[in-house]
Chains A and B, each alone.
Chain A
């Protein structure tokens, strides 16, 4: 137990946890609208989902602004360096207590696999979910705006669901991988306090 580094700033942590809460609630309400189960009732689920979505939009506006003003966006520039090492580590090294091939620094908070995963979420899942979501939200205006000629609710809904499944899968894996720090709760602590302890 030696170094502590201040990895996550206050805004970043608030952003992360409120985003996590919103995404989980969006998944819960979204899959209800999708027809997977019944919890809130369809109408309430739709209304809640819409409200949560707008809240997340607001949060993202702040987040985007923050990322660009602080230059933190660079954290997501992809790299293939050490990707193979990371994969090897998760497949083998982790079981034999091998050293983690990546050391987090304030300039490189995310390991290469994380970078790729987050980038995939940012450039693919995110836009997919946002665009289909907005099409969905503005369904009432399609005719007025002439969108009905190019869009089809079934496809909008299907791609929105596809993105939701990806988000769900990301969530499962992401939550699990947070336990792969030097202690199972190390990463989670870091995301709460901002300080990452290194051994």
Chain B
């Protein structure tokens, strides 16, 4: 080994040792990590409140304690959809809300409340006799827990587990009893985790329903959500859904499709959750052309280029195949190729999941019409669970990206109406217990006091979800070419009517005529030229 080489080796070794030491030094303070958690700036430390020093037996006991100081909280809650699960849409006069609509996921809460109300911010809603006026029934903890230990399980009418519970039954997974005292003393602001405990799991599981809301948003990376990124702006849900008196702005029933009166935060009459309320209606500082695009194109269309970028979302749900059992009469579950999701479940039928889904694009003006249980439907057509109204000419619509969720679900053949069926229950009529559609349907329809012909069949349905969460970093926004000059031949907005898009919507007649005449002229001059050459040669011969 030459001297020079030896020196180099020594230097490199020394460097490695130093680097290792440095790494050590960096990792050493690790035990102090909890101190990194930002100290609360709140003026109240709930763990010091004498009202919260009790060993609470049930959720309502905690609520009673909360209400001793927060005297108006339950009253405020009771005016919100989070509590009533009911909403009268002033635009359409339709009575909506989880209490009333039938969707094409789990379909309906009616006759299944005990299961579904795990996501109700209340305690004890197990049937239609629930007392909506009892303040003690309000669940403060599910939104205000900061310990991350509070959990409500389906099947307990909104109560958390008060003792160690196996969930789902027979699975071997034990959910620990919740320590209500610790949770009550640790209350604080809502977080991505608390909102997400229901909203990320909509439709019966993680990422099922929305495609733009799932548990990857609990601690998202920048690629997934440029606003919520844990190492970036670190927004919570309430940063945009700026809540006032427990009323959380933002709605799937009456979305703001085009915020024409945006303001910069602070004015109370506007919708704080729209993009415009922070970014204004002309957010592209150095590109007027993009602002012009934003007149008719929702921000989401370009800035959420695909949804379900964190994990796959459910794209279709076929109830008609539910109920197949194995040879021992036991329900079966078949995993899909990813290994993470079911492609079949005897209780629910067939599913299809997809990640990084390219949205469909539609004109949308914010008005949504639902197919309610009472609505007469045409079973020969795909039934639209909701219809998003919009047109290129109404002056109120913008082009929005949507997730179109398709399904097949039972309907009443005699009355041509959607039906409610009894999915879950500790009786023998529930679909998930005995896999008998007739019983489940009869029970469900009786429960809501609706007429049922006794005959059912399955109808194709679709449900449209405007995509608005999981905004990508600006570098990932759609490029001009993705609409105007798609290299793969399919442009993002090809199917959207009523817009002239340079590069994609050329007048076919003009195109044909233009190129044909140009080609004929070219041919003409070539022939003319050839004629001259021929004539001059002949002339030369002479």
Residues of chain A having any CB pair with chain B under 8 Å: 32-35, 38, 41-43, 46, 90, 94-97, 139-140, 143, 152-154, 157-158, 161-162, 165, 168-169, 172-173, 176, 179-180
Contacts and interface: CB of A to CB of B under 8 A. Distances in A.
A95 B532 contact: yes
B405 to A, nearest CB: 32
B7 to A, nearest CB: 52
B487 A165 contact: no
Contact of A153 (B288, B500, B529): B500
B502 interface: yes
B502 A35 contact: yes
A138 B532 CA distance: 47
B480 A33 contact: no
A33 B535 CA distance: 42
Contacts of A43: 479-481
B514 interface: yes
A140 B514 CA distance: 28
19 contacts: A32-B485, A34-B503, A35-B484, A42-B480, A42-B481, A43-B479, A140-B288, A154-B500, A161-B507, A161-B510, A168-B514, A168-B518, A169-B518, A169-B521, A172-B521, A172-B525, A173-B521, A173-B525, A176-B528
- Chain A interface main SS type: helix
Given A90-B528, A176-B528, 14 more contacts: A32-B485, A34-B502, A35-B503, A42-B480, A42-B481, A42-B484, A42-B485, A94-B532, A154-B505, A169-B517, A173-B525, A176-B525, A176-B529, A180-B532
Contacts, number: 85
Contacts of A173: 521, 525
B168 interface: no
A35 B531 CA distance: 35
Select the residue from A35, A152, A168, A176 with max chain B CB neighbours within 10 A. A35
B308 to A, nearest CB: 27
Given A42-B485, A176-B525, A161 B532 contact: no
Nearest to A168: B518
Contacts of B515: 165
Contacts of B505: 154
A34 B506 contact: yes
A38 B486 CA distance: 10
A35 B485 contact: yes
B241 to A, nearest CB: 30
Nearest to A160: B502
B517 A33 contact: no
Nearest to A175: B525
A197 B25 CA distance: 88
Contacts of B246: none
Contacts of B291: 140
A111 to B, nearest CB: 16
A138 to B, nearest CB: 10
B518 A95 contact: no
Select the residue from B295, B485, B517, B518 with max chain A CB neighbours within 10 A. B485
Contact of A165 (B292, B517, B531): B517
A176 B532 CA distance: 12
A140 B294 CA distance: 11
Given A42-B480, A165-B510, A172-B521, A33 B502 contact: yes
Contacts of A154: 500, 505, 507
Interface in B510-542: 510-511, 513-515, 517-518, 521-522, 525, 528-529, 531-532, 535-536, 539
B535 A95 contact: yes
Interface of B: 288-289, 291-292, 295, 479-481, 484-485, 487, 500, 502-507, 510-511, 513-515, 517-518, 521-522, 525, 528-529, 531-532, 535-536, 539
A133 to B, nearest CB: 13
Contacts of A32: 485
Nearest to B484: A42
A142 B502 CA distance: 17
Contacts of A168: 514, 518
A152 B393 CA distance: 12
A34 to B, nearest CB: 6
A33 B503 contact: yes
A140 B288 CA distance: 6
Contacts of A34: 502-503, 506
Contacts of A165: 510, 513-515, 517-518
A38 B513 CA distance: 21
B504 A35 contact: yes
Contacts of A180: 532
A51 B78 CA distance: 61
Contacts of B510: 158, 161-162, 165
Given A162-B510, A176-B528, A157 B500 contact: yes
Given A97-B539, A165-B510, A172-B518, A140 B503 contact: no
Contacts of A42: 480-481, 484-485, 503
B504 to A, nearest CB: 6
A173 B531 CA distance: 16
Nearest to A177: B525
Contacts of B292: 139-140, 143
A173 B539 CA distance: 25
B322 to A, nearest CB: 47
A143 B485 contact: no
B485 A172 contact: no
Contacts of B532: 94-95, 180
A96 B502 CA distance: 48
Select the residue from B291, B503, B513, B532 with max chain A CB neighbours within 10 A. B503
A41 B481 contact: yes
